[in-house]
Amino acid sequence: MADATHWIGGGLVVAGTLLTLLGGVGVVRFPDVYTRIHAASLTDTGGATLVLIGLGILSGFTLETLKLAFVWAFVMLTTPAAANALANAAFSAGHKPRIGAFQIMKGESSEGAGPAQRDGGVAP
């Protein structure tokens, strides 16, 4: 299978996987819950798009391509909505965002200040 579709499709899959991996590194290394949410949701959705397009090119146009389109549609619909929900809940629970590497928003003492006051009483 040394033709063009093999290399293009495989290349897109590898590119999507690389994007997802970078997002994973971001989630581990970023300092704050909001930046982590941003890293994870953006790279998951973009990486999923690249991987699914790559798989679609690899397989040609069959029924499976329609199923790949469904997977893409559901991932596009749910991942950003879940990220919105998590960020919304985290903010209303009292997490203050960290700005910059060492500068914290005025009036707060550390990252994650104050979630315990307004959460429903669940220990992290």
Partner 1 sequence: MNAIALEASFALNVALLLMLVAIAAAIAWTRSLVAAILLMGVYSLASAVWLVVMDAADVAFTEAVVGAGVSTVVLLGATLLVRPGPVRVDWRRAIAPAVLVVGVGALLVLAVSGLASFGDPSSPANAHVGRSYLVETPNDIGIPNVVTAVLASYRGFDTLGETVVVFAAGIGVALMLGFGPRSSLPQPPVQPGEHHVVLRVTARLLIPLIILFAFYVLFHGDLGAGGGFQAGVILAVAPILHALVFGLHATTAAIPAGFVRGVAALGVLVFAGVGVVCMANGGGFLDYDRLFMPRVEAMIPPGLLGDPTYSHNWGQHFGILLVEVGVLLTVSSTMVTIFCGFAGRATHDVGSAR
Partner 2 sequence: MLLAAGVAGLVVAMGLMIWRAIAGPSPYDRMLAGNSFGTKTVLLIAVIGYLFGRPAFLDIAIAYALINFVTTIALMKFVRYRTLAQPLCSPQDTEAKDG
CB atoms within 10 A of CB 71: 13
Q: Binding to partner 2 by residue 113, rule CB under 8 A? A: no
Question: Which long-range contacts does 12-15 make (Cβ < 8 Å, 24+ apart)?
Answer: 12/50, 12/51, 12/53, 12/54, 12/57, 13/50, 13/51, 13/54, 13/55, 13/58, 14/54, 15/50, 15/54
Q: Binding to partner 2 by residue 104, rule CB under 8 A? A: no
How far apart are CB 92 and partner 1 at their closest, in Å? 5
Residues of span 72-91 touching partner 2 by CB under 8 A? 74-75, 78-79, 81-83, 85-86, 89-90
Distance CA 31, CA 35 (A): 7
Query: Which residues of this chain interact with partner 2, rule CB under 8 A?
Result: 6-7, 10-11, 13-14, 16-18, 20-21, 23-25, 27-28, 33, 36-37, 40-41, 44, 47-48, 51-52, 55, 58-59, 64, 67-68, 70-71, 74-75, 78-79, 81-83, 85-86, 89-90, 92-93, 95, 111-112, 115, 119-122, 124
